[in-house]
Chain A
């Protein structure tokens, strides 16, 4: 299989994730969109590793770091969402305009 297939897959996945992040109301769903985008990146990393430097483990290493970051992001993100929910009884992103002037 040519590399481009993987890249197209990753691009699709990224776009779906981006759409989810930008368009969904539910904060949890936005978080899920972010996860999709990160995974799209991971696919790229692994694909590039496999096709260009299979004798080294750079792609794996970066992918693992991205997992770690993703896990941390989910932990922090969910904690924030739960906290907001407790205070405002909602997780709809457009109702949470605390940062407005």
Chain B
């Protein structure tokens, strides 16, 4: 089969699985997850075949795999949809296929497949556990099959987005993921917090989506096409867009469209100030968190700006001062990176730390892209997907183990609060080691882990091109990242257990730990494809393949930043410094955060996430409520519209009454009745004539006939 056909087929198995599970297999848990995992596996297989075919193609950027068919008629032409694989989405496809498959497999264990049904479990609530022979054991998720259906649809959305060759189908996949995130964050819909989080995620990302759609429309009206290849590899179009003024803020058309699309990314990839939905999204089951935060949804935002980078940077060349859109991106990215990292330091919920960490790392990517470090951003996207998926699944594993302990001891503690953990290293060795690898990768532990290479490349690029503000901000953020990661690892796995539940936590089954191990391998080796050539000692041992490969996506091949010891030193310093500091501070932590006292009010500020949610509540939600209630409901609806309607109704009624009693009854009905009465009266008179005697009738006939005859004779013939 030609590769193009395979690419078309990649998104379909999960979609098929979604329908199969919902329509046919949903009563049967085993069958449902078999269908789901099989679909993910087929997509994975297709993805791998396509990926390895793609990396074998010379100059893939210039000759990408493309296939398109006519879709929507637009006057005398057609809007095409199709599939497209160039170096960038080949790389994205690789990590999406792997992480999705791992998340599917992991979900089987996470939702306690094979466990008995809990007596008190209700659909829409997490399972409470079941009683077996006097022991509390985990119980199976009540909506087990539904989970696999939804997550399959989620995977379909991401695969569609990745293989799509135009912005519109990309947007379709993007919105499918928006829907799925809503469905899955609110998966335990009987919990009010989950419901609210789902709505919040949906609405917040929708703000970005509206702007993105504006950008898509603007791009289509400017160029008449949304095809990536036609726009992004066409110097004439890019040049025209870059030189056409848009009339808004002095931006060029390319700049304005880029900015609008970037706002879509701000929503989807949870950048400041639309980041608020992502931490709340932790209300969903942990595989969903991994799916959203690592593999698919938030990556989609970064992928989209990476994809549209030639447009965003149109007219900009390496070494030039940044254009407006890129400056905005660099600023937002760097701000988000440091902003979220500081919040992450003070969070106690193991998943929430990771959520802020994701926001922060996405900020790294956006900032990197903003300063033009295209390859570094893509590289960090790929490595981050692996180690963050690993960390999320790892945290899910920890929570699962803790829940086991909670069920066993009957203790009422929050199984997600890190201050209830401790000492899990020995209870859950596989989880510990894989989490450690993921954490070190996130911190940028030198030389081995993937996170080091990708983060180092961002810092090196910022340094080489003199973006010192970005460099300093990101370095600080990286320091904080290492610090809170070590805080998390130390609180969770080291020291003595702080609760009985933690004492009785146990390692999970292989179906959960195996994906951790696979992802842990990638969390390490995924970085080895991008080791700079001039790196001391180990540089050049492995070719810096990622740079050449993904760099080929752009028209102008980006050159790697020159090697410098300064960013390397920073990178080493912040990673090791942060990790060391984290261990030192938290190694003997009790149930109170040791930072609480020295930081004082700052700690409260951070723990409350800079009160952004409260701020939004004040400036958006409450005024909206007031407007809705007082203005829309009371004034506009009840007074103006209802008033007018009631007035019309009353008058119509009066008019109707008038017509009925003043006109219809006397005139029309009267006339009708009069005719009827008259007819009846005439009939009463005339019926006397009808005697029934045939001879009388005959006489009448004869008289009329003779009368007629005589009339004829005397008048006509005269």
Contacts and interface: CB of A to CB of B under 8 A. Distances in A.
B692 A22 contact: no
A33 to B, nearest CB: 10
A100 B695 contact: no
A22 B695 contact: yes
B699 interface: yes
Contact of A99 (B690, B698, B699): B690
B697 to A, nearest CB: 8
Interface stretch (A50-58, A60-68, A90-98): A90-98
Contacts of A98: 692
Interface string A19-61: 0011100000010000000000000000000000000000000
B695 A97 contact: no
A6 B698 CA distance: 26
A93 B692 contact: no
24 contacts: A18-B702, A21-B695, A21-B698, A22-B695, A22-B698, A22-B699, A23-B695, A30-B694, A30-B695, A93-B693, A93-B694, A93-B695, A94-B695, A96-B692, A97-B691, A97-B692, A97-B693, A99-B692, A99-B694, A100-B690, A100-B691, A100-B692, A101-B690, A101-B692
A97 B692 CA distance: 4
A21 B694 CA distance: 10
A99 B693 CA distance: 8
B412 interface: no
Contact of A101 (B687, B693, B695): B687
Contacts of A21: 695, 698
Nearest to B689: A101
A98 B690 CA distance: 11
Nearest to A24: B695
Contacts of A96: 692, 694
A20 to B, nearest CB: 10
A22 B706 CA distance: 14
A34 to B, nearest CB: 10
Interface of B: 687, 690-695, 698-699, 702
Q: List the 5 shortest-distance A-B pairs measured between CB atoms, nearest first.
A: A100-B692, A97-B692, A99-B692, A101-B687, A94-B693
Given A21-B698, A97-B691, 19 more contacts: A18-B702, A22-B695, A22-B698, A22-B702, A23-B695, A30-B695, A93-B693, A93-B694, A94-B693, A94-B695, A96-B694, A97-B692, A98-B692, A99-B692, A99-B694, A100-B692, A101-B687, A101-B690, A101-B692
Interface residues of A, number: 13
A76 to B, nearest CB: 14
Interface of B, secondary structure class, is helix
Contacts of B694: 30, 93, 96, 99
B689 to A, nearest CB: 10
A23 B690 CA distance: 18
Contacts of B693: 93-94, 97
Interface string A65-101: 0000000000000000000000000000110111111
A83 to B, nearest CB: 15
B330 to A, nearest CB: 106
Contacts of A97: 691-693
A78 to B, nearest CB: 15
A72 B698 CA distance: 20
Nearest to A95: B693
Nearest to B706: A18
Contacts of B691: 97, 100
Contacts of A18: 702
B183 to A, nearest CB: 81
Contacts of A93: 693-695
A45 to B, nearest CB: 18
Contacts of B687: 101
A100 B693 CA distance: 8
Contacts of A30: 694-695
Contacts of B692: 96-101
B611 to A, nearest CB: 99
B419 to A, nearest CB: 108
A62 B708 CA distance: 24
Nearest to B683: A101
A94 B695 CA distance: 8
Contacts of A99: 690, 692, 694
Contacts of A94: 693, 695
Contacts of B702: 18, 22
Nearest to B686: A101
Contacts of B695: 21-23, 30, 93-94
A30 B692 CA distance: 16
Nearest to B691: A100
B367 to A, nearest CB: 106
A97 to B, nearest CB: 3
Nearest to A21: B698
A21 B691 CA distance: 17
A47 B463 CA distance: 139
Contacts of A101: 687, 690, 692
A22 B693 CA distance: 10
A11 to B, nearest CB: 12
